[in-house]
Amino acid sequence: MTRRLVAEGVTLVRDVNLSFGHGEFVAITGPSGSGKSSLLYLLGLLDRPTEGQVLLEGQDTVGLAPPAMAALRLRHLGFVFQFHFLLPEFTALENVLIPIRKLGALEGEAARHSALALLDGLGLAPAAAKLPEQLSGGMRQRVAIARALANNPVLVLADEPTGNLDTKNAAAVFDIFERMTRAEGRTVLVVTHDPDLAARATRRVHLVDGAVVSDRQV
């Protein structure tokens, strides 16, 4: 894959050529403004490259119309951001249910059951009926991860997912990511500038000024 983005005369990501296999746990590191997040949004189909291709499961996505890209995000991708972005009016369970209901593959009790199982798997069963404001920061971020996993995505993209968490909660989040890659065979891409956490990934991509300067398998 090659992609480059030119916005307002600034090249955010230049001549990047990367491919990720199933079950890889990738940490994307680099100094501030190095284009880590931009790369993630390009890979997450939230943004389009000015040149090049983004292939998902062998399918080129650059020429797709916005609704088709939205459909791909819904079915194959899961996002976790630094901020949890849970809808404040809805309980943890309802938040996890939103992508499931949007996809519509599961309905009614089955959808509920699936969402509850996800929450339970992340140790959140008691929090299911609570509103985000009633949960701790670590729990909110885990609910956000559960929501990202709602439609069983092949690729999970996380942008500084532990940025607002203490070390204990941050480690718990990485535990979850490790399990997702090893046990569930998902690909996880994490943007982080915490070297301790990055060390837990199986592959580390380092960016400087929008270009890949190192790509190491561990």
Positions in the binding site for other proteins (CB under 8 A): 37, 41, 44, 46-47, 66-67, 70-75, 77, 79, 81-83, 85, 87-90, 94, 98-99, 101-103, 147, 159-160, 163
CB of 59 to other proteins, least distance (A): 16
Q: CB neighbours of 174 closer than 8 A, spacing ≥ 6?
A: 162, 197, 200
Q: Based on CB atoms, which residue is closest to other proteins, 24 or 160? A: 160
Q: Least distance from C-beta 54 to other proteins, angstroms?
A: 14
Q: Which is nearer to other proteins, 24 or 47 (CB)?
A: 47
Contact 35, 12 (CB under 8 A): yes
| Minimum distance, C-beta of residue 102 to other proteins, in the bound complex (Å) | 6
DSSP 8-class letter at 13: E
The whole-angstrom separation of Cα 218 and Cα 23 is: 14
Complex with other proteins: residue 9 or 88, whichever CB lies closer: 88
**Minimum distance between the CB of residue 117 and other proteins, rounded to whole angstroms?**
19
Closer CB to other proteins, residue 12 or residue 127? 12
Rounded to 10°, the helix 108-121/92-103 angle is 130
Residue 63's Cβ-side half-sphere holds a number of Cα atoms within 13 Å equal to: 2
Q: How many CA atoms lie within 13 A of 96 on its CB side?
A: 32
